[in-house]
Amino acid sequence: MKLRCVVIDDEPLAVELLESYVRKTPFLELAGSYGSGTAAFESLREDPVDLLFCDIQMPGLNGMELSRMLPTETRIIFTTAFSRYAVEGFRVNAVDYLLKPIAYTDFLAAAEKALAWFELNARAAGAAPNAVAAAAPEKPAPASSASAAKSLFVKTEYRLQQIAFDSILYIEGLKDYVKIHVKGEPRPVLSLMSLKSLEEQLPADRFIRVHRSYIVQPSKIRTIERNRIVFEKEYIPISDNYRQAFFDFLAEHSPIV
């Protein structure tokens, strides 16, 4: 798979550096370079690409503003000299954030992260990157294969990590990512996939969705109060759309008296 990409920066030296990085990365194809967000927008509107390497602080149309005007299928890796933009960058669903001066190793890691996103979506949809949006819905995996397994492997931080089903407390969906909260771990496991695709890999007799953004393992629940599930200091909401199915699941597997 090759990703068509564009470099946008108002500093000519920064553009030259990123162009050289793109050319030495086998899965990237340079579709153009621009010195401003305004010039890039005019071109991208006519000829969308897969990936942007985009500076944030530019005169006229800055990188954040440009990102909000592009289709969701175009992914963005922000490049900037100012770390204060990191949080805002992730709020607009950026793939990654590179702080100048940018080393090739950091550039490559961010590019591989974008490639992983496109590969996951292409596998799920059975289509090339630019056709992801028009792809057919994902097909559920056979329940028997998930039920027989005791763990799953997820991609996280450029490696595959095995997670035992029995160790999972709950899973939180965040747009294109999921957070898998594991018992005894100080931080959740972050992986690039949709909550729906992960749900289809989980055994249906152990996990159930309780909210559009949450899946829980009922056997790990100790307390339910006011339509909320309590995991230590975290409160998981039970939405109206999933409440009946959730309590039916509890009644079937753990009688309520």
Question: CB burial class (10 A; 0-12, 13-18, 19+) of residue 248?
Answer: exposed
Secondary structure tally for the chain: helices H, strands E: 8, 15
90 pLDDT band (50/70/90 cuts)? very low
- Identify the residue with better confidence: 181 or 128: 181
**Residue found under tokens 């953004």:** 213
Segment 43-52, tens digit of pLDDT: 888 889 999 9
Is 235 in contact with 228 (CB distance < 8 Å)?
yes
- Give the angle subtended at the CA of 241 by the CAs of 237 and 246, to the nearest 5°: 65
Cβ-contact 122, 129 below 8 angstroms: yes
The predicted structure's pLDDT at residue 145: 44
Token pair, residue 54, equals 């985009």
CB 231 within 8 A of CB 170: yes
- Most confident segment among 24-33, 52-61, 70-79, 145-154: 24-33
In this prediction, residues 96-112 reach a mean pLDDT of 90
Mean pLDDT for 53-69 is 86
What is the reported pTM? 0.51
Query: In the structure, what pLDDT confidence band is assigned to residue 5 with cuts at 50, 70 and 90?
Result: very high
